[in-house]
Amino acid sequence: MRLTPARWAAGLGVAALPLFFAALRHPGFADNEGRYAEVARELVARGDWITPHLNGAPFLNKPPLLFWLTALVFGAVGPTESARLVSGVATLATMAVLYDLGRRLSGSLAGAWAVAAYLTAMSTTVEARTLRPDAWLTLTVAVSLWGAVRLGLDLPRLEAARPARRGRAGGFLALWGGAALGVMAKGLLGLVLPALILLPAVLLGGRPAVIRRWRAGAGLVLVAALVLPWHLAAARANPGFAWDYIVNQHLLFFLDRKLPRDSVPDPLWYAWAAFALRLTPWVLLLPAAVLRQLREARRAATAAAWLPLTWLGMVWLLFSLAPSRLEHYFLPAVPAAALLVGPLCADWAGADGRRGGRAALGACLALTALGAAGALLLPGRLAAGALAALAPLARVASLAVAAGAGAGAWLARRGRPARGAAALVATFLVIAALTVRALALADPAISVRPLVAAVGAARLETSEVACEAGEEYQLCAALAYYVGRPVLLLAPPAFVAPDYLRRDAGHLFVPRPTFWARWRAGQARIVLFTDPERGMDRLAEFPAPRFELARGADRLVLTNLPP
């Protein structure tokens, strides 16, 4: 059977299934994941699909799509870490959209290579196994852009072959329906990002009149019909929500002036370095891929040729300029990088592929050196820390990179750069499988679940469970999820509650003097989980009587009565 690009892309989808969906219960939920899991658990328990709750109080900082999807899983099979499958589904769907986008923009072979690059980028398997909305935002942005491409980005071509009515309807629904789902997943970014990507593409392509084909008026009506019902219902049920959600959680958050100040921005250098790591190994081919696409865009002078460049560039620029940037905000640009690398590798697979040997050779040699260095340095650095269990796996992964990239360099040196790139695909499929194993081994350093198990269900059932909350109090949610009920939250210092939460803040937090008085009185057992942001070397900070029950994941677990 001949291996066509479509079959190759389908085979990559099959290879992704165990990477995205096997053993999802390991590790336990991390703190950031815990907020989505606990809100969904409380949603199922309360049956309230309008007002999400966290630790027994309204939690309206985030749009509800991921809460709803997770709650559907919990409603079907009960609370489980396997709810991460919703992120895996989104990532798998992104691969399918990416293939068709690549096929339409640069040909079927380029689409298959784009899928290969996206699947084997370092971030993809991790995000597919992480319960947070970024995988869904990435999917909705890709779907919106796919809809615009289906409607046609270049008028001369369209005038010669106007899309069929069914194609126009599908493109319209994808463009605007994707934007609406993006708003329900991640707020206004779901609408803003496709606009920031598409408008420069059509302007650079010299065909701004194509915007009329997008039927923006009808599209915004569709977005409003899908988005407004929940927002209006939530605003009616929760006074103060509208201002907080629109102004505080969007505008002021973007400017890093939101109250409470519960998010610490990442430095620009760190965000860029993390983005480069997420794109490994293909970040090494990205300069050559960008230069190739720039030449193609200038030659063709079409919006379609500019689209991968504006996709990568506008997402990267927006979050580089955002004072509130966090490194994972750059994730929607990963498919764009794959779309750029895909045609480059497809060129190498063609008749003129030998001319691409230098870029492929350089990338493979760099990875060979990095793999060898990692094999020498990483195990020693990990051996003494909380991630000591990862040291042997780090050595295996580093040697695999060195061997696979070395084979790729040999193939590229012999004038077969496409086979060298294929060696990178095979190598980083192995790395993705090792990543799944590494996540499971990192459970004690990632999740509060092992600490809850160490304390024991019987002791927790007969104790008051408390959490030393920081200003980002919602990170207590993983603890509440594993305890199975709301926990006492020590009031964060100088905490300013958002408007919608002010009437509930009194029972959400316990004042610290009140808590410590109860602790000293010893009339009931209290089990206290300390703030992971402040580390574990601070036992003397807590008033007597204090007894240590467990430690790990940067937390101490203390009790006020003898164990």
Q: What is the pLDDT of residues 214-242, one digit of tens each?
A: 999 999 999 999 999 999 999 999 999 99
86 closest CA partner among 134, 120, 32: 134
Question: Which structure tokens are listed for 281?
Answer: 């190994």
**Is 90 exceeded by the pLDDT of residue 259?**
no
DSSP 392-461: HHHHHHHHHHHHHHHHHHHHHHTT-HHHHHHHHHHHHHHHHHHHHHHHHHTHHHHBSHHHHHHH-HHHHH
> What is the pTM assigned to this prediction?
0.95
User: How many domains, the chain?
Assistant: 3
Domain that holds residue 528: 449-559
Q: Indicate if 413 and 453 belong to the same structural domain.
A: no
Burial (Cβ within 10 Å: 0-12, 13-18, ≥19) of residue 334? buried
A 10 A CB-CB count for 408 gives: 29
Q: Indicate if 110 and 123 belong to the same structural domain.
A: yes
Alpha-carbon Rg for the chain, nearest whole angstrom, is 25
Residue 352: per-residue pLDDT:
57
**Is 50 exceeded by the pLDDT of residue 157?**
no
122 closest CA partner among 424, 563, 489, 501: 424
The answer to whether residue 17 is domain-embedded is no
**Is 60 exceeded by the pLDDT of residue 159?**
no
Which of 349, 369, 403 is the last residue in one of the domains? 349
Which residues make beta-bridge pairs with 466? 488, 528
A 10 A CB-CB count for 131 gives: 25
Which of 391, 419, 442 is the last residue in one of the domains? 442
DSSP H or E segment with residue 34: helix 31-46
- Strands of 547-552's sheet in order across: 509-510, 488-490, 464-468, 526-529, 555-559, 547-552
Q: What is the mean pLDDT of residues 22-50?
A: 95
3-class secondary-structure state, position 544: coil
Q: Indicate if 343 and 357 belong to the same structural domain.
A: no
Q: Indicate if 168 and 296 belong to the same structural domain.
A: yes
The answer to whether residue 236 is domain-embedded is no
Q: Indicate if 339 and 360 belong to the same structural domain.
A: no
Query: Per-residue pLDDT tens for 68-77?
Result: 999 999 999 9
Which of 386, 418, 442 is the last residue in one of the domains? 442
Q: Indicate if 197 and 130 belong to the same structural domain.
A: yes
Q: Indicate if 304 and 388 belong to the same structural domain.
A: no
The answer to whether residue 231 is domain-embedded is no
The answer to whether residue 177 is domain-embedded is yes
Give the torsion through C-alpha atoms of 310, 311, 316, 322, to 10 deg. 90
Q: Indicate if 383 and 320 belong to the same structural domain.
A: no
Q: Indicate if 340 and 356 belong to the same structural domain.
A: no
Q: What is the mean pLDDT of residues 365-380?
A: 88
The answer to whether residue 376 is domain-embedded is yes
End-to-end distance of the chain based on CA atoms, in angstroms? 67
A 10 A CB-CB count for 433 gives: 17
The answer to whether residue 388 is domain-embedded is yes
- Whole-number mean pLDDT of the chain? 91
Q: Indicate if 535 and 458 belong to the same structural domain.
A: yes
194 closest CA partner among 212, 182, 209: 182
Q: Indicate if 462 and 355 belong to the same structural domain.
A: no
Q: Indicate if 272 and 124 belong to the same structural domain.
A: yes
